[in-house]
Structure 1
Amino acid sequence: MSALVLAHASRQLPESLAALPQIHRLSSFADRKALDQALRGAKTARRLIVLPAEGSGADADLAAVLTRLMRREQLELPVAYLPAERTPCAKAHALSLDPDRALAEAAVPRPLLRDDDGFAIVGEAAITGPEGGSFYGESIVDDTQLRFGEIGSVVVRATGSAPGLRACARRGGRLGGLAEGILPPKWVEGRAAQTGAAAMRVVRDGVAAPRSRTRITFFRHTEDWLLVP
């Protein structure tokens, strides 16, 4: 089977993958030019195997790959994901993290979560005030209001099945943490989650956006991605 391996430069390849003819090492998956150059080989590959950097940025590496596949209209390419540890994405999809299965297992369609800037999210996104604290605003999922007023944070998670996401809004203020110790925030599933405020900080898969913003929408893309479990 023709497989293209995209591996962070710091990762050691398993023996079964090291023998493959198409291997691209990336010092950063955030380098769009280098990633696009590596993905040119995907035109002849039957599947893509992603080995991200170790640590909290692993899911962001996979999200960068799916973002490029989405924009290049190549989401029909099966993708296997082999992080060094169980990331939020790996947990959401109950991934085996087995390199042999990455080569042989059949791919299954999964909802692709994205935002209105065109970035894919594979694990979770977090919204806070500009300095990381509370903010005043409104957050909704489909037709359900999560919270209006002071909000501690909003968390949006990609899911492995329809409708595509789940989100919760945590209470803000000094009594917010105490109240949630008694009554945890409610998670709501849906196709789209919207949040608006005077200013917000958005963190996608552990990576903070460079600028604050006044609104953001996360929603299920019109096309699924193909995941090798």
Structure 2
Amino acid sequence: MTYPIRPDAQPFAAVVLRFAGRRVPRPLAGLPVVDVTVPTDVDPASDAGRLIVLGTAAELAIVLARLLRADRLDVEVALVRRPWTARRARTGTARRVPLIRDETGAVLTRAGLWLPPDEARTVAGEAVVDDTQLFDGEVAGVRIEPIADVPGLRARVLTGPLRPRRWVTGRAAQLGTTGVTVVRDGVRASRPARRSTFYRHTKGWLRVQ
């Protein structure tokens, strides 16, 4: 059952945001539930003190992007991907961690990838993390991950399993290229880009742990 949030209602201490009709775990019983089918469904719940997301990393990113857009990064946010994490999502404490976004306003919560476009085998161009060059030339791809502390993210060039590349940490990872497919938390962009930047927002988000 979905419990609507009236515009004139007092804010709830916690609201469950349910993606794809997932079952609400028992520890979350009694909390108001909002079914999210489009990103704007998140907005009426942004007055809650805590949002509990039943979904994936990509769906968590949708919620954070809406909070970023509404300037509501003071709302605590928990992700429940497995039922046994539900109790911690309701009772755990929140810690402010870096929020990693890109130039489109999308948020990165788990990992981003710069991959070759469909017609290419490599990413050709130059990438830097802050003042450190990540590559100049052609590479198989790049992986970018948020980290829990400043400077905010880390990135490395993708190579074979026997040739690991070092991680480079920084505030921003920037790419200029002849063409790249950007993947955010497993979701591929609809068209190739020539530039892409992931960077730490000026204010972090409150992750419930």
The answer, yes or no, to whether TM exceeds 0.5 is yes
Say yes or no: does 1:152 pair with 2:140: yes
Instruction: State which of 26, 31, 44 in structure 2 corresponds to 1:40.
Output: 44
More helix per residue:
1
Instruction: State which of 37, 48, 52 in structure 2 corresponds to 1:49.
Output: 52
The Cα offsets for residues 138-166 of structure 1, whole Å up to 9 and x where unpaired, read as 11111111111111101100111111000
Instruction: State which of 70, 81, 84 in structure 1 corresponds to 2:82.
Output: 84
Q: Which ranges of structure 1 fall in alignment gaps of 5 or more residues?
A: 53-57, 86-96, 172-176
Q: SS of the counterpart of 1:25?
A: strand
Q: Distance in 2 between matches of 1:133 and 1:158?
A: 26
Q: What is the root-mean-square deviation in Å for CA atoms of aligned residues?
A: 1.7
Q: Distance in 1 between matches of 2:45 and 2:101?
A: 24
Q: Distance in 1 between matches of 2:121 and 2:64?
A: 30
Pairs aligned (count): 197
Q: SS of the counterpart of 1:222?
A: coil
Q: Which ranges of structure 2 fall in alignment gaps of 5 or more residues?
A: 1-11
Superposed, 1:202-213 pairs within 5 Å as 202-213=182-193
Runs of 4+ in 1 over 3 A off after TM superposition: none
Whether the aligned pair in 2 keeps the contact of 1:165 and 1:189 (CA below 8 Å) is yes
Superposed, 1:90-109 pairs within 5 Å as 98-109=85-96
Q: Distance in 2 between matches of 1:133 and 1:123?
A: 25
Offset of 1:33 from its aligned partner?
3.1
Instruction: State which of 73, 94, 102 in structure 2 corresponds to 1:75.
Output: 73
Instruction: State which of 25, 37, 45 in structure 1 corresponds to 2:35.
Output: 25
Q: Distance in 1 between matches of 2:85 and 2:27?
A: 10
The Cα offsets for residues 97-124 of structure 1, whole Å up to 9 and x where unpaired, read as 6222211222110000001111110001
Whether the aligned pair in 2 keeps the contact of 1:125 and 1:204 (CA below 8 Å) is yes
Which residue is equivalent to 2:115? 128
Identical residues among aligned pairs (%): 40
Please, what TM-score do these two structures have when normalized by structure 1? 0.81
Q: SS of the counterpart of 1:185?
A: coil
Q: Distance in 1 between matches of 2:85 and 2:165?
A: 34
Say yes or no: does 1:10 pair with 2:29: no
Q: Distance in 2 between matches of 1:146 and 1:42?
A: 38
Whether the aligned pair in 2 keeps the contact of 1:133 and 1:153 (CA below 8 Å) is no
Which residue is equivalent to 2:3? none
Please, what TM-score do these two structures have when normalized by structure 2? 0.88
Q: Distance in 1 between matches of 2:45 and 2:128?
A: 41
